[in-house]
Amino acid sequence: MIDLSNLNKEQYRAVTHINGPMLVLAGAGSGKTKVLTNRIAYLIENGVSEDNILAITFTNKASKEMREREVKILGKLAYDIQISTFHSFGLKLLKENYGVLGYSKNFNILDSDDSLTVIKKIIKELNLNPKFYNAREIKSKISSAKNELIDIDSFSKMEYDNNILLIYKKYLNKLKVNNSVDFDDLLVLSIKLFREHKDILEYYQDKYKYVLIDEYQDTNEAQYMLSKLLCQKHRNIFVVGDNDQSIYAFRGANYKNILNFEKDYKDCEVILLEENYRSTKNILDAANSVIKHNKDRKDKNLKSNNGIGEKVKYVKVETDKDECSYVSSKINELHNSGVKYEDIAILYRTNAQSRILEEEMLKNGIPYRIVGSFYFYNRKEIKDLLCYLRLINNPLDDVSLLRVINTPKRGIGDKTIDALSEKANNENISLFDAISEGKELKFKNLILEMQELAQNLTLTQIVDMVLDKSGMKEEFGDKTLDGEIRLENLEEFKSITKNYEEEYGVLNLEDFLAEISLVSDVEEYKDEDNRVSLMTIHSVKGLEFDNVFVTGMEEEIFPHYNSINEGTRNAIEEERRLCYVAITRAKKNLWLLNAKKRMLFGNVQHNLPSRFMDEIDPDYLEVINNRETLFNKVTKIVNKEEMYKKSGDDYSVGDHVKHTEFGEGIIVKIDGIIAVIAFAHPYGIKKIMKTHKNLSKV
């Protein structure tokens, strides 16, 4: 007999519900997974066969966790229960009914990259300009249409460009001819199967008489329809979710599915899980005071089971550097008092914000991990950019050349590269020197051109030039989420060059690359578990930490400028739900930080505090204003007034000068604002801005 004594009253009602539709609105930290797993066990204990139960989650990780919890309750019997994601359930349906849908047994499933390759091939076959017909953008359109259940006829009425329609039709045909389906088809074809074959639908309706769906607020149109068809006979649908935590609209999720559940199932029972077992009262009250500003929601008010706790710290600082320094100093303080690194998380709205935080962690010897993304310098686009810069500095760098000679795609294949490698080996020369013809010669000339142009550019200007001339900027400007993130990371790299220019006044590419290598090549920490977690707020969904820092609480950062520019209530409400998720990750201590000035994408931004800060009741906040305190004396603030002299000396070739870092030197060339200076060994030739504060005449 299963033990239900550890359930509260509302949890018990949900677990012991057997027949009929039920909506469980489960607030953050209210024990929804416990409810789901115990209800499955309760159904079985009350005579329902394990074969008649289907539990659907959104991620493989969640499915695995649910299975493990079920095993602890039911033992080996738990392995007979169908616990899966929507897509893995769809695959099961297709494998069992492939013939009915016109496929043979060995059909292939194309992943995202495979689908992209097919679309690129079609664009080429149609002799269309890939600059105007971006494969990623078209793939995104096709995927959205499928997930919204828009058929080809409806799509043709919506799409003004006949070529895109033609690409879509050819794409569908190629999949069919090649006995293949894409990831979206796993749901679309399952729905087609149910709609066109009533006998098959009825078979699965009778097989899965009891359906449980987790994170129902994240369902898209296809997932919603699949579950609706499956449950329309016995109507034993049990959904768990939280409309306040719907944050995946960019993936097609429709939060209104959970809001409309009572319309779809008018006799449904609704249970609110409002008792939070995660956070303190002050943290929850702060979260509640923010989310209540949303109009499209089911009203609920989380109550803490963990006492009042500390007030939420609202930290105001001058710059993003101060923000990072404050966070690292507090982490050290926490760690010195016995807190484990693994109990600390730093959250941010966009991936690009992680770069300066990573550097601060490295500088202070704080072990960290990037969750749901790559370390900044390990991201593909950043590695590619660095290779271009290294080639400009040293064209004989074979490693860098091999990485970017066909990035973005230039039609330089493996055979060409193999032939180049053989020639270089035979003649004992570099790959660059071995290039003499073909498409690879265009690449060589591109590097030589950029090398020549770089002579008269600042570091930041060099980066801009590389992004434009290499084709990287164009490649990622495809309006997809992935492209947007990668482009943001590349733009953020300019913050590194700007900071370097301002710190030293040095414009030498060689010196900059040497400095970067010290940061980017730091050995990864071996202790995998005991690290501070750095992640976007989207990545932290479902996780919790004792101590949470949320950085960048500023307008145009959070809420994001794209949502502000969209100008719709839905867009801002999605951002507010994201803020709610961020706040409710904290169990004991929460810091919300904003900066008056922030270097982002190579530009200094002066942002107002986030509107979400104004929405938090001041009773729950402890304001820490670090703009006028001793803290700024510890953390040096760099601004233009301090960094550059108001009027530069009238430097001339041959002048003796002094630099605070490199000592005395002689100006050998003047090029606009740049002075080329010969310093003594080991520094050598440096390019330095004439107006930089570190430079003066002897």
Catalytic residues: 32-33, 214-215, 245, 585
Judged by DSSP in three states, 440 sits in helix
Q: Are 693 and 644 in contact, with CB atoms under 8 Å apart?
A: yes
Burial of 149 (0-12, 13-18, 19+ CB in 10 A): middle
Q: What is the DSSP string of 315-355?
A: EEEEEHHHHHHHHHHHHHHHHHTT--GGGEEEEESSGGGHH
Q: What is the CA radius of gyration of the chain?
A: 29
How many CB atoms sit inside 10 A of residue 537's CB? 21
Q: What is the DSSP string of 235-287?
A: --EEEEE-GGG---GGGT--THHHHTHHHHSTT-EEEEE-EESSS-HHHHHHH
Judged by DSSP in three states, 172 sits in helix
Q: Are 623 and 578 in contact, with CB atoms under 8 Å apart?
A: no
Report d(CA 409, CA 406) in Å as an integer.
Answer: 5
Q: Are 661 and 504 in contact, with CB atoms under 8 Å apart?
A: yes
Strands 621-625 and 603-606: unpaired
CA 531 to chain centre: 20
Which position has the token pair 């069919």?
Answer: 176
- The angle that helices 135-147 and 162-177 make with each other, rounded to 10 degrees, is 70
The b/e string for 620-649 (b: 16+ C-beta within 10 A; e otherwise) is bbeeeebeeeebbeebeeeeeeebbeeeee
Q: Are 534 and 370 in contact, with CB atoms under 8 Å apart?
A: yes
Secondary structure of 73-110 as H, E, C letters: HHHHHHHHCEEEEHHHHHHHHHHHHCCCCCCCCCCEEE
CA 296 to chain centre: 25
| Amino acid, single-letter form, for residue 234 | H
Element (H, E) at 198: helix 198-207
Helix, strand, coil shares, percent, the chain, to 5: 50, 20, 30
Tokens of 548: 């949470």
Listed in sequence order, the DSSP H helices in 397-480 are 398-404, 414-427, 431-434, 438-454, 459-470, 472-476
Report d(CA 419, CA 696) in Å as an integer.
Answer: 53
Q: Are 147 and 184 in contact, with CB atoms under 8 Å apart?
A: yes
Secondary structure of 536-555 as H, E, C letters: ECCCCCCCCEEEEEECCCEC
Q: What is the largest CA-CA distance in the chain?
A: 95
Which position has the token pair 């002799």?
Answer: 127
